[in-house]
Amino acid sequence: MTGLVNSAGIAPLSPITETSLAIWQQTLDVNVTGTFLCCKAVWAPMAEGGGGCILNISSGAGKRAHAEWVAYCASKWAVMGLTESLSLEGFPLGIRVNALCPGPAATPMRHENYPDEDQSVLLTPGEVADAALFFFSPAARHVRNAALDVRSRPHGWHA
């Protein structure tokens, strides 16, 4: 199966009064335009080859906005709209397009934004990757236009 995972992203977090046009544009360029360009590059080969799977990594912030994350939230909501549109367009071609919406994960980017946060309570990158792999498994062969949330347990939560 032909597949693509769009996972590049940046997360400059700031309120609108501190978000320059340059930061706004860079965030949209990386998070949205980069995703669009990668999808566009594989679209025709996937269609000609009988289909494939595209997974766009969005964010929980692509479904639930946060104050003072203006550029990041706007970009991740745009990824969700792009995913839904491409899912509808790709369905008759056998191209499945889905989104993964991870919550906070223990990555260098997260640590840069929250240096004092206890990373042990966050998702690990491996847990996010495991969730992503589902979309490329036989079990997901009929899954399209899904937006799967992947979240760690809230701190102090017990089963």
Q: Could you tell me where the DSSP H helices lie in the chain? A: 21-28, 34-48, 70-90, 108-113, 125-134
State the catalytic residue, choosing from 43, 69, 72, 77.
72
SS3 12: coil
Residues 6 or more apart whose Cβ sits within 8 Å of residue 149: 60, 63, 101, 102, 103
72 is catalytic: yes
Beta carbons within 8 Å of 60's beta carbon, 6+ residues apart: 101, 102, 103, 104, 149, 151
Site of tokens 């025709």: 44
SS3 102: strand
Which residues have a catalytic role annotated?
72
